[in-house]
Amino acid sequence: MSAIKPLRLNPHHLQQLFQGRHRLWEPVIGLELHCQLHIFGKLFSPESRRTSPPFAPNRQVTLVDAAFPGVLPRLNADGLAKAVQAVTALGGQVQTVSRFDRKQYFYPDLPTGYQITQRGQPIGLGATAAQLLEPVRGIRIEQIQLEQDTAKSIHGAVEGADLIDYNRAGVALIEIVLAPDIRSAREAVVVIRKLQELLRAAGISEARMDEGSLRCDVNVSEDRKGGIRVELKNLNSLKLIYHAIQAEITRHITILESDPASAPAGQTEQRLQQETRGFDPVRRSTFRLRSKEDAPDYRYMPDTDVPVVRLTPAYVAHTTAAIPELPDARRRRLHTEYGLGLADCHGLMSQSGAVAFFEKVQQATQLPATHIGLDQDMRISFDTHPPVSVKQLASILTAIEQRLISGKIGKEILSLMLNGDTRDAFELIEAKGLRQVTDNQLIQTMCRSVVNNNPAELQKYRAGKQRIFGWFVGQIIKETKGKASPTLAKEILQKYLDQLK
Amino acid sequence: MEFNRNQASLRYGSRRSIVNKAQQSGLASPPSDPYRAFVPNPSRDSDTLPQTGVQSTDGAARGPLDGVSIGIKDNICTTDFRTTCGSPFLQDFQSPYNATAVKLIRQAGGLIVGKTNLDEFGMGSTSVFSTHGPVINPVPFLNGGSASPSDPSLMYSAGGSSGGSAAAVAAHLCDIALGTDTGGSVRLPASYCGIVGFKPSYGTISRWGVVAFANSLDTVGILARSVGDTQKAFDVLAQPDPNDPTCLTREHRQTIKKLHHQSTKLNELRAKWTSTNLSGCRIGIPKEYLIEELNENVTATWRQGIEYLRQLGATIVPVSCPHTRYALSSYYILAPAEASSNLARFNGLAYGEPFTKEMEAMQRSDGSGEPTLYGAQRALGFGAEVKRRILLGTYVLTAGAYRDYFVQAQKVRRLLKQDFNSLFQLADPLAILEEGGGDAIGDAIRRPEDGGTRVDVLLTPTAISHAPTLKSAAGALDHTSDTDTNADASASVSPILAEYVNDVMTVPASLAGIPAISVNCGRINVTDGSPTEKLQLPIGLQLIAQYGDDTTLLTIASALETTFKGDRAT
């Protein structure tokens, strides 16, 4: 699982209205997300080997995946469990009875000629509004369904041939259908990021757009009622999604505000119609993939090979109990229990196991949350390779709290520990003579000499340059090789400077 | 055990020589198989044949089917033979795996002697729609009949779609054959060829490795010369299989057994039933099966069957299945719909012949450039009947027709099931399993023990008549290739519709998923006005039971078989 980019939720900038020539336009955006489930095996061939990232092409294909004559699908229990967890994690309602349907169309990457999906009775319905844009507002989830992925078509890699990689054929997906509650490209991006964060945290999906484990179709229309809906497909990064939505909104408004009579004859591009479009990132504009007339009739029918899924309350309870704490809840808790700010929450939550480590340290010290910034670039897992022990880190914090050392010395000690020293802070303080200088007399002497030896600085200070105060403190600490208590130094320096007035 | 091992191996040997001769002469059909019961297997070396069964050399039986020669319908996957489904599309398809049924037969010691001919993908009632040529009914040529089927006036259909299986068993080319029954494809040919054809409850025998036609209806069926042999094969094949999610698990089977044995009174009664005693057995005669199209000699045989069963102590109860009249039309909506989906994988890319040459020819002839890839492949790869059903099925699933056809047909299917449920002594165990309960709801489904009008099995004809001539059956085939005869078609009943009517007696049990068996009940005079007026052809009667009550069905079938055999003896 990769690190999650920090979210900067700014409630005031998400919704966006567009100023047209005559009026304001409000975009209406809906998303359909396809997420590959993070499980061993495929949805209907549990024994099909699947590793991530995938192997060489066409190596992870069973008889079922390749749709050999006479084979039958067998529902993967892990896939079902992940789907149930996803529905619950997203605030939807797990359906106790769900069924599978066949969506039929001919394409070389669909070996059976039909995709097994859930249309009429899916595993999850979003009865309650999932708090995807919390605290701004809820984005409703209409439906969550289990379905098979197709094989992967590769066009243009070999001249005169289209290649198909069946490794992906039959991989378990959930499709998350969001209600058209999104109002801007930015909001869409935030929603997708939050979904990624949630799916990863819950161990449901790796949700990586670059690797295709998360794919997203976007519906765009203007105004809530009567807008003409255009679907945007094949957008495989957040950046593309953002720019495609922006381009499409602009195109809609331009067409809607233009005088239909002045449009050149025969230019269908100038007419807004229900269709599927792609995005050209170079020209920053969308183009037609398929018109409504070309839309296939999928001839949906029930799939009677896969039995009806009936979930007992005990199964649902047991399965959903295994969902780990979800990001929104965790952030809320870190804030209320430890008083951490949003940035600190993200810092901790972006590394696997860091929150648990943090909480252990907190328990060990029984102190109010103290922040020691770890190098953000350190790629470590607190689950498997914690850089220092809970006891070591707790000892540093305790030493600081007891004013044995300053925060600066604390960081030096941490640095020693990170380099392999297994002693705790107290042992290191003794061994290295790092105990904080708390001798008032000594610090007073130093204050006097630092101030008196730098008359120019004193002059500036008196002229109102408050910054010089900090410089004096720095000099005192430098004199003591960092051991002087900064608090004490500041206190004594202030007194001395006041006396000089 | 009725089978003589030496005989079986002799037959096995002869089968191998058939194959050898076929290979040497390049004949489409081996000389010793003049009925086209088997699919020629030119791609395989005959040396691989001995591996098909566990051959006992020490004389000790290794399994219940030890030494029994068995034919496998060619839509069931085997690694030792290609699996063509009677289709040009799969003419060279070599399955990399064995169907579960095939595996079980081999484990039980059965000798698989070959793949039997069929209507393409199981679609048909006469076994004329096969790329290997039509199956010929062997009956007129057996027991002192004409030596070889050279006389066209004696050419009758073996029934379909498991016609090859029926013909092979009837002609003693093998002891038992597996078929598949979607709407009567095992029972109808059994009736036409004078043998036993059993379609067990849906989900009793694994479908893993059975090339799907209509997956909610497809069942593996057994064709044999006696109910006893049928029972032996059934005992081997009725096993749970994790590879088939629609196959009953061990727990399901136990629950069903428990649910069916709740009434002590009924258990005690049934325990006494044998092939010569059915005292207390209640046999329903559904009036809806007495249709206009029914041959009068078939009606007479039906009456005879009723009389025989009464003599064995059974009570005959007139009953009604009011929705039977809608069964055939519903079947011809649901089965093609599923077929259109199941056959979508045959596109010439992954499976099936690429038909490159033919496609090039198509390009040259019409000059319009590249033909649509899938369209051209499927036009070349499927036979006429399969194409007809795919089109029919595709249509009923389109957005505009789905509600009016598919959904209505599904409703009829449920109503039919309710019809049957209201008739049988035993409740429908599937309804209970679906509710997820066993013990808790057990009481709720216990039926009143006084009987009322409820019955153990239903007795109906299997087919409206004896086998049709191959000429009239092939009429449907000719009709297909001749697209400009619409004017003629309107004048009389289309041969295609006439063929569909063949299934009218068998589709209700298929739609309900309940077990049904056709037992030979003698022969009747041929009444088709041909010069063969003196010829007699076999017909069967069909017994139908509640879901999961296959054992009772076989017991009563054995009694019916015995009475008719005794009739012939006297």
> Can you give the pLDDT at residue A387?
77
Task: Name the CATH topology of A440-500.
Answer: Arc Repressor Mutant, subunit A (1.10.10)
3-class SS of residue A27: strand
> Can you give the pLDDT at residue A259?
67
3-class SS of residue A307: coil
Lowest mean pLDDT across A183-197, A435-449, B327-341: A435-449
Per the structure block, which two tokens stand in for A346? 């993200």
> Can you give the pLDDT at residue A351?
76
CA distance A180 to A245: 14
Contact A70 B99 (CB under 8 A): yes
Q: What are the residues whose beta carbons fall under 8 Å from the beta carbon of B260, sequence distance 6 or more?
A: B426, B429, B546, B548, B549
CA distance A289 to A306: 33
Per the structure block, which two tokens stand in for B279? 């005292």
Cβ contact B162:B39 at 8 Å: no
Q: CA–CA distance from A402 to each of A391, A413, A485 (Å)? A: 16, 15, 11
| Closest CB to B215 among A66, A74, A304 | A304
Chain A: residue nearest B437 by CA? Answer: A312
CA distance B445 to B452: 15
Distance of CA B535 to the CA centre of its chain: 25
Q: What are the residues whose beta carbons fall under 8 Å from the beta carbon of A146, sequence distance 6 or more?
A: A43, A79, A80, A83, A98, A100, A117, A118, A122, A123, A172, A173, A174
CA distance B175 to A409: 92
User: Span B37-66, mean pLDDT?
Assistant: 61
CA distance A208 to A214: 5
pLDDT band at B10 (very low <50, low <70, confident <90, very high): very low
Look at the block and give the residue holding tokens 């009606």: B299
pLDDT band at B478 (very low <50, low <70, confident <90, very high): low
Cβ contact A353:A381 at 8 Å: yes
CA distance B316 to B307: 9
Host H or E run for residue A35: strand A27-36
> Which residue has better confidence, B151 or A327?
A327
> Can you give the pLDDT at residue A68?
96
3-class SS of residue A30: strand
> Which residue has better confidence, B516 or B436?
B516
Q: Are strands A230-235 and A214-222 parallel, antiparallel or unpaired?
A: antiparallel
pLDDT band at A204 (very low <50, low <70, confident <90, very high): very high
Side-chain half-sphere exposure of B349, counting CA atoms within 13 A: 20
Q: What is the DSSP letter of B179?
A: E
| Closest CB to B398 among A108, A299, A308 | A299
pLDDT band at B145 (very low <50, low <70, confident <90, very high): low
Q: What is the DSSP letter of A62?
A: -
Give the residue numbers of B annotated as catalytic, written as ranges: 73, 161, 185
Interface probe with B: pick from A114, A292, A301, A306, most Cβ of B within 10 Å: A301
∠ CA A177-A181-A187, nearest 5°, is 100
pLDDT band at A54 (very low <50, low <70, confident <90, very high): low
Angle between the A390-401 and A425-432 helix axes, to the nearest 10 degrees? 60
> Which residue has better confidence, B479 or B500?
B500
Q: What are the residues whose beta carbons fall under 8 Å from the beta carbon of B341, sequence distance 6 or more?
A: A102, A104, A113, A114, A299, A301, B393, B397
Examine residue B205 and state whether it is found in any structural domain, yes or no: yes
Q: How far apart are the first and last CA of chain A?
A: 60
User: Span B104-112, mean pLDDT?
Assistant: 96
CA-wise closest residue to B158 among B520, B541, B473, B532 = B473
Contacts of A306 in chain B (CB under 8 A): 245
User: Span A312-331, mean pLDDT?
Assistant: 92
> Can you give the pLDDT at residue B373?
76
CA distance A448 to A437: 16
Contacts of B93 in chain A (CB under 8 A): 69
Examine residue B425 and state whether it is found in any structural domain, yes or no: no
Cβ contact A55:A206 at 8 Å: no
Cβ contact A70:B99 at 8 Å: yes
Mean pLDDT of all residues belonging to chain A: 84
| Closest CB to A108 among B207, B349, B406 | B349
Tens of pLDDT along B24-44?
433 333 447 899 999 997 644
CA-wise closest residue to B393 among A114, A64, A70, A308 = A114
Contact B350 A67 (CB under 8 A): yes
Contact A70 B210 (CB under 8 A): yes
> Which residue has better confidence, A345 or A174?
A174
Distance of CA A482 to the CA centre of its chain: 40
Contact A102 B95 (CB under 8 A): no
Mean pLDDT of all residues belonging to chain B: 85
Examine residue B525 and state whether it is found in any structural domain, yes or no: yes
pLDDT band at B11 (very low <50, low <70, confident <90, very high): very low
Q: What is the DSSP letter of B446?
A: P
Burial of B447 (0-12, 13-18, 19+ CB in 10 A): middle
Contacts of B434 in chain A (CB under 8 A): 308, 310
Interface pTM (ipTM) of the complex? 0.88
Tens of pLDDT along B520-546?
999 999 876 665 557 899 999 999 999
Lowest mean pLDDT across A327-336, B20-29, B84-93, B318-327: B20-29
Residue A97: CB atoms within 10 A of its CB come to 11
pLDDT band at B350 (very low <50, low <70, confident <90, very high): confident
Min Cα distance B420 → chain A (Å) is 21
Distance of CA A35 to the CA centre of its chain: 14
Q: Determine contact: A75 vs chain B, CB below 8 A.
A: yes
CA-wise closest residue to A410 among A435, A385, A380, A439 = A435
CA distance B522 to B517: 15
CA distance A339 to B359: 73
> Can you give the pLDDT at residue B54?
43
Look at the block and give the residue holding tokens 């002891």: B175
> What would you report as the CA-atom Rg of chain A, rounded to the nearest whole angstrom?
30
Examine residue B540 and state whether it is found in any structural domain, yes or no: yes
pLDDT band at A4 (very low <50, low <70, confident <90, very high): very low
Bond preceding residue A135 cis, omega within 30 of 0:
yes
Burial of B404 (0-12, 13-18, 19+ CB in 10 A): exposed
User: Span A182-208, mean pLDDT?
Assistant: 90
Q: CA–CA distance from B278 to each of B272, B315, B455, B521, B558 (Å)? A: 8, 9, 13, 18, 11
CA distance B207 to B76: 9
> Which residue has better confidence, B520 or A416?
B520
pLDDT band at A377 (very low <50, low <70, confident <90, very high): very low
> Which residue has better confidence, A398 or B208?
B208
Tens of pLDDT along A290-301?
887 778 899 999
Tens of pLDDT along A247-272?
999 898 888 887 666 555 555 456 78
Contact B345 A112 (CB under 8 A): yes
Look at the block and give the residue holding tokens 């206190």: A491
Per the structure block, which two tokens stand in for A479? 């004199």
3-class SS of residue A214: strand
The residue type at A388: V
Q: CA–CA distance from B245 to each of A44, A278, B44 (Å)? A: 10, 40, 32
What residue ranges of chain A are covered by domains with CATH 1.10.10.410? Answer: 440-500
Chain A: residue nearest B211 by CA? Answer: A70
Cβ contact B211:B76 at 8 Å: yes
pLDDT at residue A62 tops 70: yes
CA distance A352 to A299: 45
CA distance B567 to B552: 23
Q: Determine contact: A292 vs chain B, CB below 8 A.
A: no
User: Span A393-401, mean pLDDT?
Assistant: 85
Q: Positive or negative CA dihedral for A320, A321, A322, A327?
A: positive
Examine residue B418 and state whether it is found in any structural domain, yes or no: no
Look at the block and give the residue holding tokens 């689950």: A383
CA distance B15 to A487: 102
Per the structure block, which two tokens stand in for A81? 């469990």
CA-wise closest residue to B178 among B219, B217, B139, B215 = B219
CA distance A193 to A81: 23
pLDDT at residue B438 tops 70: no
> What would you report as the CA-atom Rg of chain B, rounded to the nearest whole angstrom?
23
User: Span A140-159, mean pLDDT?
Assistant: 91
Q: Determine contact: A68 vs chain B, CB below 8 A.
A: yes
Beta bridge mates, A145: A175
Q: CA–CA distance from A452 to each of A489, A493, B233, B242 (Å)? A: 16, 12, 110, 90
Residue B143: CB atoms within 10 A of its CB come to 6
Q: What is the DSSP letter of A121?
A: S
Give the domain range for residue B97.
1-146+153-321+446-570
User: Span A338-352, mean pLDDT?
Assistant: 81
Cβ contact B255:B433 at 8 Å: yes
Per the structure block, which two tokens stand in for B425? 């002594």
Contact B344 A73 (CB under 8 A): no
Lowest mean pLDDT across A330-334, B87-91, B168-172: A330-334
Q: What are the residues whose beta carbons fall under 8 Å from the beta carbon of A327, sequence distance 6 or more?
A: A194, A197, A198, A201, A349
> Can you give the pLDDT at residue B441?
42
pLDDT band at B487 (very low <50, low <70, confident <90, very high): very low
Provide the H-helix boundaries in A30-133: 77-89
Tens of pLDDT along B288-336?
999 998 999 999 999 999 999 999 999 999 999 999 999 999 999 999 9
Contact B399 A297 (CB under 8 A): yes
Number of domains within chain B = 1
Min Cα distance A419 → chain B (Å) is 55
CA distance B137 to B139: 6
Interface probe with A: pick from B341, B396, B402, B511, most Cβ of A within 10 Å: B341
> Can you give the pLDDT at residue B493?
60
pLDDT at residue B52 tops 50: no
Chain B: residue nearest A102 by CA? Answer: B341
E-state strands within B311-454: 315-319
> Can you give the pLDDT at residue A344?
81
